[in-house]
Amino acid sequence: MIIPVRCFTCGSLIGDKWYEYARRVSNGEDPGKVLDDLGVKRYCCRRMFLSHTEIIDKILLYTRVGEVEEEEFAP
């Protein structure tokens, strides 16, 4: 949904590299080379990028925040 801030396995910071990775891959660059350029060397961190699906923008279209809050606080 949202890229985690840190790698689940080693704890390395990856959240700050997601948007550049996604932009470059969507422009047709090879994902492996982009990760090499960004300095993501460990395979535990590389899988975080390669297996991630960014769907938060689609989920937000179907979220009605006001109604959820009213239901949570109703007696």
CB of 32 to Zn ion, least distance (A): 16
CB of 38 to Zn ion, least distance (A): 13
Find all residues with CB under 8 Å of 46, minimum gap 6, and list them: 32, 35, 40
Burial (Cβ within 10 Å: 0-12, 13-18, ≥19) of residue 48:
buried
Which residues lie near Zn ion (CB under 5 A)?
A: 7, 9-10, 12, 42, 44-45
**Dist CA 66 CA 30 (whole Å):** 42
In the bound state, the residue with its beta carbon closest to Zn ion is: 7
CB of 46 to Zn ion, least distance (A): 8
Considering the complex, state which of residue 1 and residue 11 has its C-beta at the smaller distance from Zn ion: 11
